[in-house]
Amino acid sequence: MSEIAIETRNLTRRFGRVLAVDDLNLAVETGQVYGFLGPNGAGKTTTIRMLLNLVRPTHGEVFIYGEPVARNHGVLKRVGAQVEDATFYAFLSGRRNLEVLARISGVDVDGRIDALLAQAGLAERARDRVGTYSTGMRQRLGLAATLLTDPDLLLLDEPTSGMDPAGMASVRDFIKSLPAQGKTVFLSSHLLSEVEQVCDRVAIINRGRVVAEGPVSALLEQGGLSSLLIEAAPVETARAALAAWSPVDAAERPGWLYLAGAADDAPAVTQRLVEAGVAVHQVVRQRQTLEAFFLSVTGEGVVVEGAGGDAPGA
């Protein structure tokens, strides 16, 4: 069994009347890219602040590599973090900012700084004041800053916000490459596609509570919601033949049938249709997107086991 990089126990934070984080229990194993997905105001940043001992929990505790961060600041030496948007001393150059942060960390990294700046695509602007950088450049400098100490664990809070699509893609590729270097990544995001592309596991958080947790692939299939879309003629004969799967009309495809949760039954469905003498034009296995899943667990109405009831208005 691999080591646990982050563990939270009953982690709770209240700001006045706002319950920003509510009884959060997470366990992030090493070597993963762990997604922390939630809409704005869900409590992602507050959680990361507590992981870094920047904010004191109202209840509960954070353990990084088994050490309680509130009582052992030293364990944060193994962590590199970027909380919210990247902020720097605007009057210093990009390079000088990294030098200052390295000194504060107490690590000797002069050789690494140039490599990190080059990796961030900032080699040419390294001597300019950060005040003159674009948001995307600052975000990339922020990422470079998290790597200064060659940390084992990276906490990245929406690292692609403010970037152009090309910048986002390169940051995602970069994040994906980290586990191969033995690093663990905790990536918060409100972008479903980002988590879907980059993460191995995901916790979905809404209004401070985890509403779903698991491997990304499993969540996509969860609840038997993966379905089949069928184009067949005549459609009424097909509907009768497939009664066992309770077909409905597909929402945006007139003449198509939708079989909820039947993704694994494609061969059997096709066979039934052929036996009934129906012409089968297409059988499409429709994987549920994380987007749809996300809406189903965070939105109103749809209740997913163990998640829906107490989330809204808690």
Partner 1 sequence: MLRALDLFGAEWRKLWGNRRVSGCALVVWPVMALGASLGLLLLNVLEARLRTVQLLSWTDVALSVWDVQSNLIGRVAVLAVAATLFAGEYQWRTWKNIVPRRPRVQLMAAKFAVLGFAILLTFIVMSVVMTVGFGVVNLVVGAPYGPDPTLNVIGDFLTRYSIRAGLSFVDTILIGAVVALLAMRARSVLAGAFFGLVVLLIDEALILILGTLSLLFNNESWLELLRLRFTYNLSNLSAILQGGGPLAPVPFPVTMNASGTGFTPPRWRPTRWRSRR
The residues, any chain, with a CB within 8 Å of residue 285's CB and separated by 6 or more, are 226, 228, 263, 266
State the burial class of residue 52 (Cβ atoms within 10 Å of its Cβ: 0-12, 13-18, 19+): middle
- Residue 35: name its binding partner from Mg ion, partner 1, ligand ADP, none (Cβ under 5 to 8 Å by kind): none
46 in contact with ligand ADP (CB under 6 A): yes
Which has the closest alpha carbon to 48: 90, 109, 6, 95?
6
Q: Which is nearer to partner 1, 134 or 246 (CB)?
A: 134
Pick the binder of ligand ADP from 11, 20, 198, 278 (CB under 6 A): 20
Q: Which is nearer to ligand ADP, 141 or 205 (CB)?
A: 205
The residues, any chain, with a CB within 8 Å of residue 286's CB and separated by 6 or more, are 226, 227, 228, 229, 263
40 in contact with ligand ADP (CB under 6 A): yes
139 in contact with ligand ADP (CB under 6 A): no
- Residue 289: name its binding partner from partner 1, Mg ion, ligand ADP, none (Cβ under 5 to 8 Å by kind): none
- Residue 284: name its binding partner from partner 1, Mg ion, ligand ADP, none (Cβ under 5 to 8 Å by kind): none
Which has the closest alpha carbon to 199: 5, 29, 32, 8?
32
Which has the closest alpha carbon to 121: 107, 140, 138, 108?
140
Q: Which is nearer to partner 1, 53 or 227 (CB)?
A: 53
Residues across the chain: 314
56 in contact with ligand ADP (CB under 6 A): no
Residue written as token pair 């934070």: 13
Would you list the DSSP string of 130-192? Answer: GGG--HHHHHHHHHHHHTTT--SEEEEESTTTT--HHHHHHHHHHHHHTGGGT-EEEEEES-H
Do 295 and 211 meet the contact criterion of CB atoms below 8 Å apart? Answer: no
Interface contacts to partner 1, rule CB under 8 A: 49, 52-54, 73, 76, 79, 81, 83-84, 87-92, 96, 99-101, 103-106, 145, 149
Pick the binder of Mg ion from 12, 32, 45, 93 (CB under 5 A): 45
CB of 37 to Mg ion, least distance (A): 12
38 in contact with ligand ADP (CB under 6 A): yes
Residue 73 per-residue DSSP state = G
Closest residue (Cβ) to Mg ion? 45
- Residue 46: name its binding partner from Mg ion, partner 1, ligand ADP, none (Cβ under 5 to 8 Å by kind): ligand ADP
Do 181 and 119 meet the contact criterion of CB atoms below 8 Å apart? Answer: no
- Residue 43: name its binding partner from partner 1, ligand ADP, Mg ion, none (Cβ under 5 to 8 Å by kind): ligand ADP
- Residue 15: name its binding partner from Mg ion, ligand ADP, partner 1, none (Cβ under 5 to 8 Å by kind): ligand ADP
45 in contact with ligand ADP (CB under 6 A): yes
159 in contact with ligand ADP (CB under 6 A): no
